[in-house]
A and B are shown apart, each in its own frame.
Chain A
């Protein structure tokens, strides 16, 4: 039975509690928040009696095997280091750390201590992403990806999130080097990091503020981002983050030399685009029908998964937690390789250095890329 602790008892902690409850052989033994009342309210609802306002006390008193850190990113590095130093494995919410150098230090520390650490890139483990990985392993693309596209949108209509941060310059989101983008784009970047080489030779990024955000009093916050990346082996990637695109978009396209895959994470579907020759007007008749068949297949699978209690609104987090715990128990490889976590952090550093000039983060890290 793995003993689990949660540090940071805000909104996202509830999602962790639910995901953990679906994974066998584990139990939440303690919760902690700098604001003790927050810890107590979560403890009451989750049936956890050990509530703390000090992480050191929690680690000493309850000796958890795994600590889930769900605090604002600025505290991730120090809290995770403290947990690793006391011998606990760590699940660290996204964004993993504020800078890539912090990420690197944490990953090295975990390796040195023989402990496991993962990032909260839970959307990498939704059923359609798992199917994509399976197809790629089977050689569906016909080789290394040639081009990747990741789209991620965020609806500013949810005023409960945006309003407090826009009205308050000292809000923790506003204190991040990439501000609003820093807190939301890691899911979209992590998709690319899985298939890109470490050696990136080109990154261009441009960002601006949407009229919608300006009307909400967005001040200096940027919310429209476009990024182009090329790695050493020639794989290119495009990333788009938008608060304006409707309907909401969360898509990942992997194009191979033979076939391509399109994953739609809003609809939970995966479309296989296969190279099939059609003659004459059949070019216009058959491919739409094949696409329709793909959509039908997805609809059928999702219904069956729902009925079979395999499909949850946050399936990705449950699956990531399950795989992470399994990796701890069996000593099997981590669900997210360290390389991907670090590359995600490095790409984010690069992006923010380009769109927010004068960012200290960027200046420190830029030398690690041979960027054109």
Chain B
């Protein structure tokens, strides 16, 4: 283990959302790094199969402590944060309502940070956020979207409760960092893919209307393979000198949505899809948004210009900061990552 890391192998590490798609991989990576005092926080209703499989595989898996609770409960947060040096906060709220998303993202994070400061031995709070916090409405097609890009200033207009929750969560983390000198790092992963996640990204298209509509096709996807993403998450909790920094997480090699869909259809299953150009999608979204406003919400603004731009406009993405400041390198290259993603479908069929 690198001597320049903030913590030693015996320091206690907490991973929230540890039974999730990225969280379980973060636990695996933390154990690979040699940490021996790892605590996983899970909800009572969590499906633990993924996490248990990982713990079963790892040599240090037996020593991992499972703490069950709800981050909305301050008591549970205190239990989780007791004696902890680094928190990898991956628990996320996927509630469709804005209030629910706020509660499960922002409030839960506030509770956790307060417990960390009072009952932990805080060295770093890693807040895993999302690309959903960005607004590329005013960014040109093909322009680079990096950490300096503006954040969404109208999440309600974008009708994105998840993005709203993540935005507010980031605001709180920054507030606690500034006011209470809590050392933090914010990570914003792009589209995380890998075995264990079977859905096609909404950045490829939509299947709301009974068949798949591919929007655009030449738009680059901000992909990051789950192993590569977990590596970035873990490093951000260990590296010194990056307090208060924000990192986008995308892999070196990316695919366009058209390339991804073709590979999916070829290796998983062929299905009918209709492709519409981005300009047409934008026009339809603008019309939908207008009707929604005019009719006072008779149709929810599920399709709108902000969402259209965020999902399908097509920007380029940079991981330069991640490489330079964290020393991150992808563990798995694109070919192997894509093969691993697609293999999960074949193994299930067989």
Contact check, A21 vs B296: say whether CB atoms are below 8 A apart: yes
- Is A254 an interface residue when CB atoms closer than 8 A count as contact? no
**For residue B252, which residues in chain A have a CB less than 8 angstroms away from its CB?**
none
- Is B38 an interface residue when CB atoms closer than 8 A count as contact? no
What is the bound-complex CA distance between A313 and B107, given in angstroms? 29
- Is A10 an interface residue when CB atoms closer than 8 A count as contact? yes
Contact check, A38 vs B298: say whether CB atoms are below 8 A apart: no
B92-100, B114-122, B208-216, B254-262: which lies at the A interface? B92-100
Contact check, B95 vs A160: say whether CB atoms are below 8 A apart: yes
What is the bound-complex CA distance between A41 and B156, given in angstroms? 11
- Is A199 an interface residue when CB atoms closer than 8 A count as contact? no
**For residue A163, which residues in chain B have a CB less than 8 angstroms away from its CB?**
43, 45
What is the bound-complex CA distance between A314 and B42, given in angstroms? 35
Contact check, B43 vs A41: say whether CB atoms are below 8 A apart: no
Chain A residues with CB under 8 Å of chain B are 9-11, 13-14, 18, 21-22, 35, 37-38, 41-42, 45, 159-160, 163-164, 166-168, 217, 306, 309, 311-313
- Is B102 an interface residue when CB atoms closer than 8 A count as contact? yes
Distance to closest chain B CB from A22 (angstroms): 5
Q: Top 3 closest A-B pairs, CB basis? A: A167-B44, A167-B45, A163-B45
Distance to closest chain A CB from B280 (angstroms): 24
Chain A interface, >50% SS class: helix
Contact A13/B99 with A35-B107, A160-B94 known, Cβ cut-off 8 Å = yes
Contact A306/B45 with A37-B107, A38-B99, A41-B99 known, Cβ cut-off 8 Å = no
What is the bound-complex CA distance between A166 and B70, given in angstroms? 12
- Is B103 an interface residue when CB atoms closer than 8 A count as contact? yes
What is the bound-complex CA distance between A230 and B19, given in angstroms? 51
Distance to closest chain A CB from B180 (angstroms): 16
Contact check, A42 vs B99: say whether CB atoms are below 8 A apart: yes
- Map CB proximity to A onto B292-307 as digits: 1 under 8 Å, 0 otherwise: 0001111000000000
What is the bound-complex CA distance between A217 and B43, given in angstroms? 13
What is the bound-complex CA distance between A178 and B103, given in angstroms? 26
Q: Determine the residue in chain B with the shortest Cβ distance to A162.
A: B45
Contact check, A41 vs B45: say whether CB atoms are below 8 A apart: no
Distance to closest chain B CB from A331 (angstroms): 28
**For residue A312, which residues in chain B have a CB less than 8 angstroms away from its CB?**
296-298
What is the bound-complex CA distance between A21 and B102, given in angstroms? 22
Contact check, B99 vs A160: say whether CB atoms are below 8 A apart: no
- Is B110 an interface residue when CB atoms closer than 8 A count as contact? yes
What is the bound-complex CA distance between A312 and B296, given in angstroms? 9
Contact check, A167 vs B43: say whether CB atoms are below 8 A apart: yes
Q: Which residue in A14, A41, A160, A167 is a CB contact (below 8 Å) of B168?
A: A41
Q: Determine the residue in chain A with the shortest Cβ distance to B94.
A: A160
**For residue B106, which residues in chain A have a CB less than 8 angstroms away from its CB?**
37, 41
**For residue A168, which residues in chain B have a CB less than 8 angstroms away from its CB?**
44, 70
- Number of B residues near A (Cβ < 8 Å) is 22
Distance to closest chain A CB from B17 (angstroms): 14
- Map CB proximity to A onto B35-74 as digits: 1 under 8 Å, 0 otherwise: 0000000011100000000000000000000000010000
What is the bound-complex CA distance between A200 and B96, given in angstroms? 41
**For residue A159, which residues in chain B have a CB less than 8 angstroms away from its CB?**
45
Q: Determine the residue in chain A with the shortest Cβ distance to B44.
A: A167
Q: Which residue in B99, B103, B168, B298 is a CB contact (below 8 Å) of A306?
A: B298
Distance to closest chain B CB from A170 (angstroms): 8
Contact check, B100 vs A11: say whether CB atoms are below 8 A apart: yes
Q: A37-B110, A167-B43 are in contact. List 6 more A-B contacts (CB 8 A).
A: A14-B98, A41-B98, A45-B98, A163-B43, A306-B298, A313-B298
Contact A311/B99 with A35-B107, A41-B168, A167-B43 known, Cβ cut-off 8 Å = no
Q: Which residue in B97, B102, B296 is a CB contact (below 8 Å) of A22?
A: B296
A-B contact pairs, 14 of them (CB 8 A): A14-B98, A14-B99, A18-B297, A21-B297, A38-B99, A38-B102, A41-B168, A159-B45, A160-B94, A160-B100, A167-B43, A167-B70, A168-B70, A313-B298
What is the bound-complex CA distance between A11 and B296, given in angstroms? 19
Contact check, A164 vs B102: say whether CB atoms are below 8 A apart: no
What is the bound-complex CA distance between A237 and B96, given in angstroms? 36
**For residue A167, which residues in chain B have a CB less than 8 angstroms away from its CB?**
43-45, 70
Q: Determine the residue in chain A with the shortest Cβ distance to B43.
A: A167
> Which of B44, B94, B99, B100 has the most C-beta atoms of chain A within 10 angstroms of its own C-beta?
B99
Distance to closest chain B CB from A308 (angstroms): 10
Distance to closest chain B CB from A216 (angstroms): 8
Q: Determine the residue in chain A with the shortest Cβ distance to B297.
A: A18
- Map CB proximity to A onto B109-138 as digits: 1 under 8 Å, 0 otherwise: 010000000000000000000000000000
Contact check, A10 vs B99: say whether CB atoms are below 8 A apart: yes
> Which of A9, A10, A41, A45 has the most C-beta atoms of chain B within 10 angstroms of its own C-beta?
A41
Q: Which residue in A42, A160, A311 is a CB contact (below 8 Å) of B298?
A: A311
**For residue B70, which residues in chain A have a CB less than 8 angstroms away from its CB?**
164, 167-168
Q: Determine the residue in chain B with the shortest Cβ distance to A13.
A: B99
Distance to closest chain A CB from B176 (angstroms): 13
What is the bound-complex CA distance between A312 and B298, given in angstroms? 5
Distance to closest chain A CB from B57 (angstroms): 26
Distance to closest chain B CB from A360 (angstroms): 26
Distance to closest chain B CB from A208 (angstroms): 22
**For residue A9, which residues in chain B have a CB less than 8 angstroms away from its CB?**
99
What is the bound-complex CA distance between A10 and B103, given in angstroms? 8
Contact check, A309 vs B94: say whether CB atoms are below 8 A apart: no
Distance to closest chain B CB from A162 (angstroms): 8
